[in-house]
Structure formats: C-alpha cells, structure tokens
Structure 1
Amino acid sequence: MNEYLERLREKTCRLTDAPGVYLMKNKDGKIIYIGKAKNLKKRVTSYFKENPMHLPKVAKMVENVYDYDFIVTDSEYEALVLECSLIKQHCPKYNILLKDDKGYFYIRISDGEFPRITMEMQKKGKGEYLGPYTSGYTAKLAVEEANKVFMLPTCTKKFPAEFRRNRPCLNYHIKRCMGVCRGRITAEEYNKIISDAVNYIKTGSAESVERMEKEMLDASESLDFERAALLRDRIAAIKKAADTQKIITDCKDTDVIATARNDSSISAAVLIYRNGRLVDKMNFFLGDKEDDVFGDFVKQFYHGAEDIPKEILVEEEFDDMEFVERYLRERSGHAVSVTTRVRGDGARLIALAKSNAGEYLSFKVNRTAKEIIALDEIGKLLGLKEPPKYIESYDISNLGSSGIVAGMVVFENGRPLRSAYKRFSMKDNLSQNDLACMREVISRRFNHYVNKDTDDEGFLRLPDLILVDGGKGQVSVAREVVSEMGLDVPVFGMVKDNKHRTKAIATDGKEISVSDMKPAFFLLTRIQDEVHRFAITYQRSTRKKGLDSELMQVKGIGEKKALKLLKAYKTKKAMKEASAEDIASTAGVSLATAEELLAMLNG
C-alpha cells in the first residue's frame, strides 16, 4: 500500500482537464512511468482511486509513486509525440522497453579527403549519417551493395597516407575495388563516386540507373569513352544486384507487426519487407502483459526512426492508431498506412509474423510457439479474458449400465499434465444416460473444490476452461452444475465430424467452427483424442477386471489362468465363440472345466 496516496489524491484535484503527458516519480525523484492523456485529471486520478482494479504491473508502479509531474499540450496528438520522445529519453522502469538487444542503425559517410561508407550502431565520430534504420539488415545490405556496385575500398588502409605503399589487394584484381591505394584517383574523382553511392543508397536502384544512363550518354557524346564505359559497368552492376533480390510478395515496402502472448508475458515480431522481399526480422520480449501493450510497442518502435515504410500491417487495431499514422506521415514525409488485414497476402504475412513472435516467446518461457498461438487463438475464439493456461476435459465411456466410467484429463500450457488426470466410476445406476453421467462427474469433481475435503491438489485448483466431449446437451448440464456451485468457469463442448475429427466448439446454443484456425484446431483435436483415449482405456480395464472375477467363479480357474484367457480372447464374446478344447488348451485346464466355463458364459 502506498503511504502517499492521500497526498497524491489531493494533488490530482488541482489538475487540469487539458491533454498532456504525466510523469510518475519515485521517492528518489526518478521517473518510473510516462503516459499521455486526453484529460490529465481523469487519467491521473484513475491511478490513485480506492480499491482500483489495476493490472499487476500498474499496481506495482502505483505502490512506488511518490510524486508526479505533468506537461500540458495543445492536443492529444501532441501529447502522443511528446510521450514517445520522453520515453525514449528517460527509459522509465514501468514503460514498455524494446528488449531485443538492438538499437537503431546508421549508415556513416566518414569525414576526410577519401571518405568510407560503413554501418554503425550509433553516431560516433565526424561525418554524415543516414538513418536511423530500424532494420540492421537493411542498413548492412545498403552499405554492402553500394561498396560493391561502386567498387569502393573496404580495407583498413588510410588515404592518401598509404598511397602506393603496397600492391593492390585481391579485391582490386577481381574488380571488387577501384584500387584507390594505387594513388591514381584524385580526391575530386573519388568524392564524385562517393556522392553517386550515397544517392544510390538514398534513392534506390531505379533512380540511380536513370541518372547514370543520362550521364553515360553525355560522356559518350563528349567522347569521354572511358567514363562512359565505367558508368555502363556500374549500371550493369546495379541491375544485377537488383535482379538477385527476388520479389516474394506484392507488399513492396511494408512492415508487418504481430504479437504472441501467454498467461503472463508477451513478445512481438516485426517482419521488414523492402522492394517486395523480406530483408529482416526483429523480435522483442515485452515482459508483463498489459491491455495497451500493442499500441505502446508500435509507437515506441517507430519513434526516432527514419526508415519508415509506406505500409504497416498490424494484427489488431489499437488506441491512437490514427494519431500514430499521422505522426509517422509527418516524420517520413510520405503517406503511411497503418492497417490490419483479415484475408489475402496481408493476412498471410500477419500470420507469419505471429508465428515468429510465438517462436521467440517460446525461447523465453520454455514452450513451443504452436502451443502459445493455439492457446491465444482458443482464448480469443471463446471470448476469454486470457488464454486458458489450465484446461480440464471430460469424456463419458460406457458399454452398458454396468460399466459406465468417465475420464478427466488436464492440459497445462498446451501440454498434457498426466499427474492431474482423474478417473470416475459412476456411483448411481444411470443406465446409458450420458447427460446424467456428465452431471455426476462434474458435481463430484467440483464438490471437492468447494468443500475442500481432499488433499489432492488437482481437485483444489480451478481450471481456466472446461471442455466436455459432446455438444449442446453436455455443455448445458456442465454449465448448470458449475453455476449451481457458484463457480465462474467457462464451459464448452468439443464436437466431432463423421470421420471422428474435432470440427467445432459447442456452446449451449450453437457451434463455432475451428477448422480454419490450425493451431487451435490441432490442440483441441489432441485434447479430445486424449480424453477419449484415457476414458476408454479405463472403461476397458474395469471391464476386464469384471470379466476376470467372473471367470474365477469357475472351480479350477484362478487368477493366472483367468489372465491367460483374457490375454488370448480379449473379450467375452470371443471367449463364447471358442471351443471347449481351445479353452482347455489355452488356460491349461481340464475339458470338463472348460465346458463348465462356456456353460456359465452362455447361461
């Protein structure tokens, strides 16, 4: 509990209703959180209310607030821009920070008579800098192609100090370097080439080729055939570099952003496409999950970046999306579309980004990406507040009223938790009434939870989701029992098609198809198959035990001989159809005993 809450509440009474940015500070005066607000008074007051329903991370932040400051802006949009800038400047503890061990990248054109073009992680030293680039691969590729196309030196020699000191290196002989070290190129000529290379990086291959083709014609008309040939070769090199960049999508310059979540954490992946091909992938671990984390991530990712594409595909709409679009448009100087897609190539790319985010999250939390995505899909499909971390599933198995049993399996984090599996034998004489059986099983299971009459931890834990094998009837019965006990646990059914495959999730009124949601479909199928296997295995074992006892009623057949017969014939029906001679031979009993056994079985 924050001992300074009363003072903080009193301070908020004097706050303005204007838009702006607020800065939460701890006792040492350090900024621990920065946020923006359309109405400063309403937003800041919400943190210090009595009995607030804060998320855990927000509650922890509020506990550490000693004071706060604020900055009024003219509009909510200005507040957004200022918020991004201040977060970048102060890196507050409780704001979303991009934990991918990367910063922004720059292309540096060094100072001096003979400058070099290199990629740098930060601005250091004199020279001209292009960027920042959000993608390290993009910056690196641009530098490599510029150096290759324009045959620039990449060695560590210093010019002009080391002119003609040694023989030209291998790059010169294989036409990868113009051989500046020979001392035959003037600083003026060299800087003209550097200028062309920088223009190539800035404008791309198409504009560079167009400009160089014009220069080549001018050189040819001026009878400067040596320069015309040099430009011809340079144009060919640019076209060759462009040809090797295979276009794999219609999305020319596009960033694709998606997230993966589990019960406590979230990760993001950004796929970067330039000229229609994937040039880089960036992963981020965003830590604790929050409601507005996606929008915060997008805003922070592009703040300070100059490598902003014309299209940004996102998996979901978020608050301030229009403001972010406007902000990026003003920063980049060109139109920027921030949008989501539900079909077509864009939807496929978003799914790919989501898969990458899941893979990255799996490294952090020791789960597979498919399980994370499947649970996320199931949670969204069923309208749950969180992905269901702990799932219980039930199935009834019977071959007549005397052998009705049920199985309960548990999946935790998308994986079977076999230590928590439970078996139930029906206590009531329920004939073959599956609904009555389901009522008994659910009642017995949750009576243990309500009454706390067991030390079994599996019964003392509430699941995040109950899945019953069956449709509307089973779901209605299970929901009714759970509701009667005053419990709030979502209940759904799993429905199979005529090929015995999971086809839909059943509510108490309709069916929701899952066939188009592959990760969710595969996990639900696995759960349904597992609970069916577990229940029917138990049913068979109880049936064998009953038959075992029945066989031992015949004089001369003990436990070992009964097991021999069960192993050989499997079922009562198969045993009935066998001859007395075969039974006698199999069990090692007399013919008279075998005949007595058959008489009992057929009696």
Structure 2
Amino acid sequence: MAEERLINYVKSLPERPGVYIMRDQDGQVIYVGKAKALRRRVMSYFRHGGFASPRLRKLVEMVRDISVVRTATEAEALILEARLIRQLQPFFNVELKMSERYPYIRVTEEKFPRITVTRVKSGGGLFIGPYVRVRELRELLRLLDRFFPLRKCSIPIEPPYDRRPCVYHSIGKCLAPCAGLCSQGEYLQIVSDAVMLLQGRGADLVERLRRKMEDAAYNRLAFEEAAQIRDMIRAIWRVGRQSPSAHVGDEDNFPLLCSLQDILGLKVIPWRIEGYDISHLKGTSTVASKVVFEQGRPNKSLYRRYNLGDFGGDDFRALGEVLRRRFSRASEDEVLPNLILIDGGPVQLEFSLKVLSDMGLSIPTVSLAKGEEEEVYLPGKDQPLRLGEGSLALRMLQMVRDEAHRFAVSSHRENRRLRMRHTRLEEIPGVGPNRASQLLSRFGSVKNIARLSEEELMAMPGIGKKLARIILEHLKEGKD
C-alpha cells in the first residue's frame, strides 16, 4: 500500500503533461509512464483498493517513490517515455521494453505505391505517424480501404500488364494497375489524396473533392459519382475532426450545411462561410473582422482583423472598405467562400452586394439582423426569412455572426489596450520609445516630468538643453 507521504506528494503534482517514474524500496525503477495530466494519471493508481489485473496490484504494492519529468506537450512525453523505457528496462513495462514501437503508416516508394502499417522506419517511402491511439489508426485504415482503391498486393507491376484482376478490383477496392486498367497518373492522384488526409490536410482534400463533386453533379450529370464523393467527404469529416462543435449539438455538420443550402437556395453546400462585422468607438478607431467557418466549424488560422482608422461611425463605408481589401487581391487559385454573412439588415446587404458586383464578383451573400426575432435577408427578397428557434441552419448563421462580432470587439479592445500603453512622450521629436521608457522609469510619470526644470531634465544621459526645452514645452502645452 502507498504511504501517506507518497499520496500527499502525488496530490501536489501539476495537471500538466509529463513522464512519471516509479521505484521500489531498493530504488530500482519498476515502471515508467506518460501522462497528459500528471496528477490525475498518477493518482488513479491509488484510488482503488484493488485491481482486476494482478500486475497492477503488484505494481502499486511495490511503489515506494515516484518522480516526474515535466514536458511541454503530450507528444514530448511520449518520446521521453519510450527513451527511458529502452534505457532503464523497468520490470513492469512490457511492450516498449521489448522494443515494440508505435505504428506508422508507410507509403511505399514504388511505381504504384502501396499503403502499409509498420513499426520500424526503415527502407524508402513516406512515413506518417507515429499513431499513439489504435482507434485513430483503425479509423484511418477503414477510410482508406473504403474510398481509396489502392492495391494491397506486393507483386511487381511491370509491363506487359496481362494479369487477371483480383477480387479487390471486382468489389471496387483496387484500380487493378497490374492488369493495366488504370494509368500511373490516375493511380498517383489517388495516392496524393490519401497522403493529404494522412498528413492532416483534410480541409484541402475536402475542397478538392468538393470541386470534383460539383463537376460531376452539375457539369457531367454523373450523380452516382457525385454521391460517392459526398460520402467520402462526410467520412473525412468524421475521422479528421479535431474537436466537436461547442455550439451545434449534431455530431456531423453535413446535414446542417445541407439544410442551410436548401433554406438559402444556394447552388452548392456552403463548405466555407465568411462572416464580417464592424466595431468602433464613437466613430473612431474602426476595426473590421473576418471569421471563417470551414465544414461548419471555425478555422481561427484564417481569421483577419482590419484596422480601418476613423470612419466617423459610417459602418457602410467601413464595410465596403473591408470587402474591397479582402477580395481585391483574390487570385483565381484562392479559395473563395461559398457564402458571405453580413451582420446587419437589408441596407447592409444591398451595400455589400454592390461592392462585390463592382469588383466583378458573384458570391452568395446574406445578412442576419438581430431584433425581437432573428431575420435573415436574402438578395432580391423583400421580406426576411424568420427561422424558428430550433432551426439548425439559423444556429449556424448565429454562430458565424456571433463569432464575427466577438472577434471584432476583442480586436477593438486589444487596439485600445495597446494605445493605452503608448505614451505621448514618444510623439515628441527626439524622444523615441527607449528614451521615453528611461524617463518614465526615473521620474515615475509624465506629470512628474512636466514639473522638472530644464537643468533637472538635462541630468538624464543623452538629453541636452535643446531637447529638454522641447520636452517641457510640449508637456506644458497640455498635449499629454
């Protein structure tokens, strides 16, 4: 049983990532483990009176001392754990002590590459991983098997391609390059898509697939192919999702976005939504915000703030300015939004549409006005849509609008905070940030500096009679 001293020590551990090292009464290391939160993980050993596993019971009985090593991330803890186990060979560590490593996914270096799982990074090819969670790896492998028809066999594929396709080709899970039923370019394109998914570039892959789906559905009328691509996109979302939405309770945002498409009459599903809002202080220091939602979730790496200066409270001019800044430099290769959401009513919507039209852009745009009930304004519609409180489509629009408002207000507050830290001393000719800092450090405040005589001010290194006079005249004029 653990001593009271040991339990008290465990209670003092931080809820931070790290590695814990357990020793017996002779000081021998008997177990090394990693933790996302050290205190919670280590304390779990001492919360139970007994364990179903005899190995765990014996481990807890033998522990007499625990030490920890803090790491910055869980990934660093994983690496350190593996190194310590191989170095110390603790008795109760079985898997890594036997040199068992976490698995990687390997894309082989062949004319028609294969995707395999390995625990040893040797040989050629691309290695992706390691995968710590077996469930995550299995989901990826199931997804690859279902939607990426790459070969499973390891036979050499060289001309002449006269083999008979195997059963995997018959069930649609292999393009049969061995039988010459696909070109190398066609095969490598699918490999490229699979690598994008494995490298965590799911958003880029979804955008590529979205274009293929729209081409299949609207240009070639290949509805079955479009449906298959749609199913692939949905599966990628499920596997690649980093975190669940904090506001929309639906696990899969695909039905939500489809509902939004139907309600707004959009030609395509709004995979990418951009929301805009304006914030200012009595017409001054105007700040505009752009937030981006991809696949129904915020992508904060694409958020932008626009410092617009003083617009005299004219939100329309400010809105026009931010839209021009955003889209005037948009290249043909840039991903444009499928939907723009403006915080405001019909006038803001009409103004935004005119700005976009003047730039030669035709992007679906709506506005959301907050009153007694939410009103959605659509181009060419006299009356707004009033969606019920239970509408998932409305909740998505509200989430984008509220996030744009939050980001605009927080950006404005940050600008104000930075301005408050700026002293007018820096605006005096000959006084820069460093000299202003030295003056404030020595004399405490601008008021104290204004009370000084020229001689007292000249006592500061680097300040002569002329600069001392300029500083005092500036402060006495009430400019600070």
TM-score (ref. length: structure 1): 0.33
Q: Which has the larger radius of gyration?
A: 1
